[in-house]
Structure 1
């Protein structure tokens, strides 16, 4: 795999990155109330952070993209602004999203990013996408953190694919549970395919 032209910073969707196992064990709204760094998310209250943080893998990917060009924007601030464009729909405490098309409008208008919703994407298509665009936000099973396991389904969680080769895909996983499964995780294309939901968002900076 060829080296990246620049370092892509990693950010977890939790402010304390090593809280993934606690989130899985206790549930996000319980575990994340113990996150001592929650204020860094841009949330106005601990309650807001605990409710939102499990739903912002896409905002963590966006935060990483923006950070690659020197802009650091808190994840829940991004989520709040994206909601204004329809990227999330909030009803009585439930959160639906990320909704791709409004997200594309949001990042174009607010940050000047060129983004494109992509569906029916074969895993073999991803290298060509990254030849045209800098990043691919891929919909995968959240169990991609355990590549030795078979996922119960494909899609539902977002990771940031930053580089590809015949030998593997390199990506940042906002809910990885170890350093190896968070920043610059690498999976062979056949393994990535087991988790990939065949859709995502290509982003150019």
Structure 2
């Protein structure tokens, strides 16, 4: 994969309000309901925030994209509510299906005028091509990509990260559930390792 280095200046957003506390949230040593910054999410209660925070990787990617493209960035939970109305999340009690790419992409285009293309067949070479063309790419990976060199994921996909840069050796991601100081912002993932985590699908935006 031969391409010049590209690194888009994309602000980082975690799917939790307190990005520094992500290690505690993902290990369960602290409940999301105890996130001291939860009111910033726009949720009505800490419980509502705690329900959605583990599920808001796609919303975090959207917020990063909006900020990068110069749009006002709404709080996360109101964005979730809008996406539920748009059919991008389908709720059945405590079960949530989503993020569903097609209605998500339609909503992004309709509301903000941002081109968004969902794709179920997105080879890694295409990720690089889109980045070189100035776009961002939301890609479906296994959540353990926060440790790309030391983890053998049990499956591919299930978690959305935002590809924001690329070189010949690696893709750079903003990971909404990454670890502070190591795998949140501009985290490099070697292309050969990405294949182990990546489900081959995503949404091209911008």
TM-score (structure 1 length as normaliser): 0.92
Higher helix proportion (structure 1 or 2): 1
Tell whether the 8 Å contact from 2:165 to 2:186 is kept in structure 1 after alignment: no
Q: Does the 8 A contact of 1:104 with 1:115 survive in 2?
A: yes
TM-superposed deviation, 1:82: 1.0
Query: 2:7 maps to what in 1?
Result: 4
SS in 2 for 1:177: coil
Q: Which runs of 4+ in 1 moved over 3 A?
A: none
> Take 2:64 and 2:133, find their aligned partners in 1: how far apart are those partners?
19
Q: Equivalent residue for 2:66? A: 66
The aligned counterpart of 1:87 is 88
Q: Is the 8 A contact 2:6 2:132 kept in 1?
A: no
Which residue is equivalent to 1:197? 199
Report the Cα distance in structure 1 between the residues aligned to 2:92 and 2:119, rounded to whole angstroms: 27
Give matches, 1:133-144, under 5 Å. 134-144=135-145
Task: Flag structure 1 segments of 5+ consecutive residues without an equivalent.
Answer: none
Q: Tell me, yes or no, if structure 1 residue 25 matches structure 2 residue 24.
A: no
Equivalent residues, number: 201
Contact 2:6/2:166 (<8 A) preserved: no
Please tell me whether the aligned partners of residues 133 and 203 of structure 1 are also in contact (alpha carbons under 8 angstroms).
no
Q: Give the aligned partner of residue 114 of structure 2.
A: 113
Higher alpha-carbon deviation: 68-77 or 89-98: 68-77
Alpha-carbon displacement from aligned partner over 1:125-144 (angstroms, at most 9, x marks no partner): 21123234510000000000
